[in-house]
Structures are given as structure tokens and as C-alpha cells.
Amino acid sequence: MKKISFYISLLGLVSFTSCSLFEIDNKDVPAETLQGQVVNAETGEPVLTDQGSEGIRVRLTELSYGDNVTPNPDFFCMPDGTFQNTKLFKGTYNVRIDGPFIPLLREDDRGVPLADETQTLEIAGKKQVKFEVQPFLKVEWVGEPTVVNGKVKAQVRVTRGVSAADFQAKIEPMGGYSASFLNVTDIQLFVSYSSSVGYRARDERWSNKIEYSGTAFNALLGQTVTIESSGTIPSGRVVFIRAAARINYDTPKGSGTRRWNYNEALQLMIP
């Protein structure tokens, strides 16, 4: 009799477990879309970036369940300064971007907000958002690059995208200000077979850089700077090039990541 009772109990447990295993998951799948663009507040031009962790970071924080929430996994803009996430749940989100521009969220040393230009919005269906920012630098091609004996020679011009006075007025109240933040530290020439050429998609055999210490670059602001690729690029190949420059300031503050401002990619045939 005891054995019969035991087997009946076991059969009931197995039946209950089996039902649980085959229950239908009725939760919605994340299918909402956020599309965004980052543009220069003064000119309306897209803020060009790197497609990787040195590029423009996008951070979403879902606020639907209260204030004490953790951000969604970060993602990054595409080289043309646009971004997209197609796997979101419906809800209220705070959207924050960090890149080579004046921070949108600025706080003092105590964490007291000084300015908050992030955006909070409802995401349902397809939602579009635009951020107007003040880039640290503007990088431009000067003339057309030339190719001689497998080497690319390019000329670039670097100017400030935000004045030194405006930069100081917005960054200094955050604490720990240094005049060295404004120093241009390097110009890069990235070369790659990929049209997404940049720091993350560069060929180290041919990419090159010019580094500057202290305020050495100040005299070159607005001037034409010549930079040449390294090594010898094989003839008959198509490559893409981009130039980039950055200042001695990390975003977000304290992250240690100094992000480049870029110009547009060019396609070259190596004769």
C-alpha cells in the first residue's frame, strides 16, 4: 500500500513538472526601434565617428520600473553619426550619448547636476531622436590625397569646434579643470580595405599618426598639415582612408577614453 501511494505521488510530481516545462511563454519579445542621429549644433552636419568603443557611445536606461535601474547594454554609433537599436521593449527610456563633444550630462564633484541635455522619451514602434552637440574639433581634407610608390600623402586642416572660452565655461564647473584638456594630442591617418575605416577598422601596416606634446599644436590650428601613410600599399588595391584628431579630454569624465573627431572616408585606387 505504501508503495502504491509513493508511485502515485511520484506520478503527480512528474505530471506537474511536465506541465510546467510545456507552458507557453507569453512575454512580449523586444521589437521596438530607436533610431538616432548626432549632429553639430552650429552647422547641422553629422558628427562623424568610429564604429567601436572609441566612437560615440549610446546608453539607454529604462525608467518604466522606477528610478533605481541599471542601464541597458551600451552600443555605439555608426561612422556617419547615426545609431539604431531594433530590440527594445516598449517603455520610457533616458537616452544619453557620450563622444568627442561637450558632455550632455554635466555634474560637479559632488554629483550635483549642472546641466542635463540627455533625452527622456517613450519608445513604442519606431522612435527617432536627434542630438545637437558641440564637437571638440573639426577635421577636414585639404585638396585631394595623392598616391606615389604605394604611399598615400594627404593634407588635413584641424580647427576647434567649440571655442576655448565656451569649453572652459562648461567643463570647469565639473571640477578638476586643467588648461591642458584643450591640447590637441595627435592626428591620425587610418588606412584600411574596409569602408568603415577608423581606429577599430585600420590596417596597422599602412596607418600612421603624428603626435604633439603640450600646446605644440596650437600654432597649427587652421593650418594645413601633411601626413603620409606607412609602409607600401600593394598596387592594384582599393583602400579607404580617414583622418582624425583628438584633444586631451576623456568622455565620459574619468573614463580614460579620449575620442577622436573624424572627417569623411575617401576611397583610393593604388596604381
Q: Kindly state whether residues 166 and 117 are assigned to the same domain.
A: no
Q: Quick one: pLDDT at residue 30?
A: 87
CATH number for 155: 2.60.40.2060
- Is 88 a residue whose pLDDT tops 60? yes
Residue 230 lies in a domain: yes
In three-state secondary structure terms, 236 is coil
**105 within a domain of the structure (yes/no):** yes
Assess whether pLDDT exceeds 60 at residue 19.
no
pLDDT recorded at residue 24: 52
Looking at residue 240, its pLDDT comes to 98
Please name which of 86, 85, 63, 89 lies closest in space to residue 74, comparing C-alpha atoms: 85
User: Do the domain assignments include residue 22?
Assistant: no
Q: Is 100 exposed, middle or buried (0-12, 13-18, 19+ CB in 10 A)?
A: buried
In a domain, 5, yes or no: no
What percentage of residues in the chain have a pLDDT greater than 90?
85
Which of 89, 109, 133 delimits the end of a domain? Answer: 133
Same domain, 246 and 142: yes
End-to-end CA distance of the chain: 92
**Local structure of residue 153 (DSSP, 8 states):** E
| CB within 8 Å of 135: residues ≥ 6 apart | 40, 47, 100, 101, 161, 162, 261
Please answer whether residues 97 and 38 qualify as being in contact, where contact means their C-beta atoms are separated by less than 8 angstroms. Answer: yes
Contact 102, 38 (CB under 8 A): no
What local confidence, expressed as pLDDT, does residue 156 receive? Answer: 98
Q: Are residues 65 and 188 in the same domain?
A: no
Q: What is the pLDDT, as a whole number, of residue 46?
A: 97
The residue type of 41 is A
121 and 156 together in one domain:
no
Whether residues 128 and 149 share a domain: the answer is no
Q: Look up residue 153 and give its three cell numbers.
A: 600623402
Mark whether 199 and 258 lie in a shared domain.
Answer: yes
Choose the final residue of a domain: 81, 103, 133: 133
Tens of pLDDT, residues 110-160: 999 999 999 999 999 999 999 999 999 999 999 999 999 999 999 999 999
Whether 251 and 157 share a structural domain:
yes
Same domain flag for 165 and 65: no
Secondary element (H or E) of residue 168: helix 164-171
The pLDDT assigned to 11 comes to 45
- Residues 151 and 231: their CA atoms lie apart, in Å, by 7
- Asked if pLDDT for residue 187 goes beyond 60, the answer is yes
Looking at residue 68, its pLDDT comes to 63
The full DSSP string for 61-120 is: EE-TT-SS-PPPPPEE--TTSEEEEEEE-SEEEEEEEESSBS-SEEE-TT--EEEE--EE
> Model confidence over 208-238: pLDDT tens digits?
999 999 999 999 999 999 999 999 999 999 9
pLDDT at 10 over 90: no
For the cut 50, the answer to whether the pLDDT of residue 1 exceeds it is: no
- Residue range(s) defining the domain that contains residue 102: 32-133
In this prediction, residue 27 carries a pLDDT of 59
Query: What pLDDT band is residue 31 in, cutting at 50, 70 and 90?
Result: confident
pLDDT for residue 21: 47
Please indicate whether residue 166 or residue 70 has the higher confidence score (pLDDT): 166
Residue 108 falls inside a structural domain: yes
Domain boundary among 99, 133, 167: 133
Band (pLDDT 50/70/90 cuts) for residue 8 is: very low
Look up the CATH number of the domain holding residue 122: 2.60.40.1120
Mean pLDDT of the chain: 91
At 67, is the pLDDT very low, low, confident or very high (cuts 50, 70, 90)? Answer: low
Is 40 in the same domain as 113?
Answer: yes
Q: Say which residue, 256 or 20, is predicted with more confidence.
A: 256
**For residue 241, what are the CA distances in angstroms to 125, 139, 202?**
37, 13, 9
8 lies in a domain? no
Strand partners, 67: none
Query: Number of structural domains, the chain?
Result: 2
Residues 229 and 155 placed together within one structural domain of the fold: yes
Indicate the pairing of strand 224-228 with strand 261-262: unpaired
Indicate if 169 and 250 belong to the same structural domain: yes
**212 in a structural domain:** yes
Are both 154 and 238 inside the same structural domain? yes
Confidence class for position 18, pLDDT limits 50, 70, 90: very low
